[in-house]
């Protein structure tokens, strides 16, 4: 089978592991920079031109589309879909997942538990917004932030009002969420493949840091999910039509609460923490579904 990994950096751990596991299982695996693809759109025969050739031989793709290239990256994924290639996540699903507000609305409708969340259109009544989520401390997130960037913990009412007013002044769209104190700066990342959880880790933020992202110095250990946590992870995957994804959640006094769903989860942290071969699971998912 001819498999293409859409990635801007072939040296990334996740990309290298997917190449390694694909080749181990006898596939031809190629890493292609989506920004160097030309999309040829014509009646009945859409195609993609990359460097010196047409990519009309591809059976399946693995999108590793960074947030900064979502628009064009998803256009490339969509073109492959039109050409009949199987993709582990669709272009529409990637775009939905990158819109935090849209994702939360879909997840809420699906009955997924989450922290109290408010979104307003640059409201001047910031005091009321803070009260909606139960008062301070509160978490304020940019809608387009990733890897913990654009996430602020406002511990006092004055701090929350100042941050919201600053973001409003910049016309930066944000959501405000309640702060789950009992999580103690930790969260859970569950990796879902083919709608099933194949690995999970608990990430702990470094001392004094409320964000648990490994990119920000957090640590990770393997964890066994309980029934409610498994149900939340698989339910979120299904609600956003993301058969392969990373689901982040908090442990709270009222059960697991969803933080966000990542359509392009990194493999290094979770493979290291759990010892699971996640890359192999992804390749097997392709084998099961690609023509």
Q: Residue 94 — φ and ψ, nearest 5°?
A: -65, -45
Residue at 98 is within a domain? no
**How many whole angstroms from its chain centre is CA 16?**
19
Q: Does some domain include residue 110? A: no
Which of the listed residues 156, 179, 202 is the one where a domain comes to its end?
A: 179
Cα 60 from Cα 81, distance rounded (Å): 9
Give the CATH number of the domain where residue 19 resides: 3.40.50.20
- Give whole-number Cα distances, 194 to 93, 131, 215, 284, in Å: 14, 40, 26, 9
Q: According to the model, what pLDDT value does residue 57 have?
A: 95
Per-residue pLDDT at 169 = 80
Number of domains the chain is built from: 3
- By residue range, what is the domain housing residue 129? 117-179
Cβ pair 84, 57 in contact under 8 A: no
Which of 72, 88, 104 terminates a domain? The answer is 88
- Please state the three-class secondary structure of the chain as a single string: CEEEEECCCCCCHHHHHHHHHHHHCCCEEEEECHHHEEEECCCCCCEEEECCEECCCCCEEEECCCHHHHHHHHHHHHHHHHCCCEECCCHHHHHHHHCHHHHHHHHHHCCCCCCCEEECCCCCCHHHHHHHCCCCCEEEEECCCCCCCCEEEECCHHHHHHHHHHHHHCCCCEEEEECCHHHCCEEEEEEEECCEEEEEEEEECCCCCCCCCHHHCCEEEECCCCHHHHHHHHHHHHHCCCCEEEEEEEEECCEEEEEEEECCCCCHHHHHHHCCCHHHHHHHHHHHHCC
Q: Contact 6/61 with Cβ under 8 angstroms?
A: yes
* Angstrom distance (rounded) from CA 244 to CA 237: 8
Q: Give the C-alpha separation, 229 to 282, whole Å.
A: 21
Residues 53 and 130 occupy one common structural domain: no
Give the per-residue pLDDT at 124: 65
Residues 8 and 73 in one domain: yes
Q: Does 125 lie in the same domain as 63? A: no
Contact 64, 5 (CB under 8 A): yes
If asked whether residues 153 and 197 sit together in one domain, one would say: no
Please give the pLDDT value at position 51. Answer: 92
Alpha carbon 124 to chain centroid, angstroms: 31
Phi, psi for residue 39 in degrees, rounded to 5:
-95, 120
Q: What is the pLDDT along the chain (291 residues), one digit of tens a residue?
A: 999 999 999 999 999 999 999 999 999 999 999 999 999 998 778 999 999 899 999 999 999 998 889 999 999 999 999 999 999 999 999 998 888 888 999 999 999 999 999 887 766 677 788 888 888 899 988 876 555 567 888 888 888 888 888 887 887 788 889 998 888 888 999 999 999 999 999 988 666 555 555 555 567 899 999 999 999 999 999 999 999 999 999 999 999 999 989 999 999 999 999 999 999 999 999 999 997
Q: Are residues 196 and 277 in the same domain?
A: yes
10 Å Cβ neighbour count for 81?
A: 16
- 96 domain residue, yes or no: no
């Amino acid at each position: 089978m001819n498999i293409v990994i859409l990635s801007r950096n072939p040296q990334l751990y996740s990309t290298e592991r997917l190449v390694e596991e694909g080749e181990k299982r006898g596939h031809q695996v190629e890493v292609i920079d989506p920004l160097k693809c030309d999309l040829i759109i014509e009646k009945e025969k859409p195609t993609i031109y990359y460097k010196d050739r047409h990519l009309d031989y591809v059976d399946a793709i693995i999108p590793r589309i960074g947030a900064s290239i979502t628009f064009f990256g998803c256009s490339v994924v969509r073109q492959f879909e039109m050409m009949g290639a199987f993709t582990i996540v669709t272009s529409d699903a990637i775009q939905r997942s990158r819109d935090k507000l849209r994702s939360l609305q879909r997840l809420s409708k699906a009955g997924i538990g989450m922290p109290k969340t408010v979104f307003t259109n640059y409201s001047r009544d910031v005091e009321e917004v803070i009260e909606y989520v139960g008062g301070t401390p509160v978490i304020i997130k940019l809608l387009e932030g990733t890897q913990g960037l654009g996430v602020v913990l406002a511990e006092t009412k004055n701090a929350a009002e100042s941050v919201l007013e600053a973001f409003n002044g910049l016309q930066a769209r944000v959501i405000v969420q309640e702060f789950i104190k009992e999580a103690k700066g930790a969260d859970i990342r569950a990796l879902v493949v083919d709608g099933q959880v194949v690995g999970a880790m608990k990430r702990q933020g470094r001392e004094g840091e409320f964000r648990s992202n490994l990119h920000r110095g957090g640590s990770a250990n393997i964890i066994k999910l309980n029934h409610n946590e498994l149900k939340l992870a698989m339910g979120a995957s299904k609600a956003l039509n993301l058969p392969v994804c990373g689901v982040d959640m908090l442990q709270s006094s009222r059960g697991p609460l969803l933080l966000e769903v990542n359509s392009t989860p990194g493999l290094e942290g979770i493979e290291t923490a759990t010892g699971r071969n996640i890359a192999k699971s992804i390749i097997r998912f392709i084998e099961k579904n690609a023509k």
